[in-house]
Amino acid sequence: MGLFSGKKGLVLGVANDWSIGWAISRFILEQGGEIGFTHLPDKPDDDKQKNRRRVEKCIQGFPGAKFLVPLDVQDDQQIRDVMKTTAEHFGKIDFLLHSIAYADRSDLQNETIETSREGFKMAMDISVYSLLAVCREARPVLNDHASILTMTYFGGEKIVPRYNVMGICKAALEAAMRYLAFELGPRKIRVNALSAGPIKTLAGSAAGVNDMMVLYEGMSPLGRNVTHDEVGRTGAFLLSDMSSGITAEVLHIDGGYNAMGAPGRLLDHFVPKAAVAKA
């Protein structure tokens, strides 16, 4: 018996095998869970269906992967269609993973103050409002005591240069998560957010993840970066019955980086130890 034996759920936002959403999903599948997946819709003229094929490559060989359908979270009808498909396959579900965020690359590369109005609205719509829209339409298919998880980052709490408009989105996402936790609480449905340290993903490449990984390795108490497997296990924990008393929380998995108030051991690279001791 695995941790997720008999459990069914929906995962939104896997892009490829480097996605945090896939790291979480893979652990759940290995632990006996059943999952329906969505993928970013392919363009009508894309005969190769690149978005769909990337996710198909991930889930092939996993009998617990029950369906794969396109989803544009800016389209309410598509969200309803996904929930209808979910009900047809599973009836009710025990967990929902929201692993969706987007901002235009030009807005990420510019200073936050230069964010375009349209770019801001799109980033907030996809990265934040989608959680509200998805949870609203998912209510009929969610079992009581179900668990919902979304993905955030420390840039929503503190200034992280180059994260820019996405930091604003993550701050709003965390607030949305807390309000959802309150409103769904009477049904004992839990809503949490997982804040992972920098990890190599398709989205992370646009936010300077390689530079951040060097910083985290130097500053975090563990002196290293977290792995896909560690993030996957932690995310699965929050979607499992093991975390039944946790809701409205942001759980950090970053080697302790978020707890640091000074550069820590990274300071040794810039200031001689004798000078630090004397000070």
**Span 191-202, pLDDT tens digits:** 999 999 999 776
Among 7-16, 39-48, 101-110, 175-184, the range scoring the smallest mean pLDDT is 39-48
Question: What does the pLDDT look like over 253-272, one tens digit per residue?
Answer: 999 999 999 998 988 877 66
Q: What integer best gives the mean pLDDT of the chain?
A: 94
Identify the pLDDT of residue 204.
55
Mean pLDDT of 22-36: 98
Q: Is residue 145 within a helix (H) or strand (E), and if so which, with residue range?
A: strand 142-152
Whether residue 131 contacts residue 101, with contact meaning beta carbons closer than 8 Å, is answered with: no
**Active-site residue identified among 102, 129, 153, 216:** 153
User: DSSP secondary-structure letter at 16?
Assistant: S
- Is 153 tagged catalytic? yes
Distance of alpha carbon 41 from alpha carbon 30, whole angstroms: 27
For 197-262, where are the E strands, in sequence order?
250-253
For the whole prediction, is pTM greater than 0.75? Answer: yes
Distance of alpha carbon 67 from alpha carbon 89, whole angstroms: 8
Question: What does the pLDDT look like over 207-223, one tens digit per residue?
Answer: 567 788 999 999 999 99
**Active-site residue identified among 102, 163, 216, 257:** 163
Mean pLDDT of 224-233: 97
For the chain, where are the E strands, in sequence order?
8-12, 34-39, 65-70, 93-98, 142-152, 190-196, 250-253
8-278 — its CATH code? 3.40.50.720
Distance of alpha carbon 84 from alpha carbon 80, whole angstroms: 6
Question: What does the pLDDT look like over 49-87, one tens digit per residue?
Answer: 999 999 999 999 999 999 999 999 999 999 999 999 999
- Is 257 tagged catalytic? no
Identify the pLDDT of residue 275.
52
Q: Is residue 11 within a helix (H) or strand (E), and if so which, with residue range?
A: strand 8-12
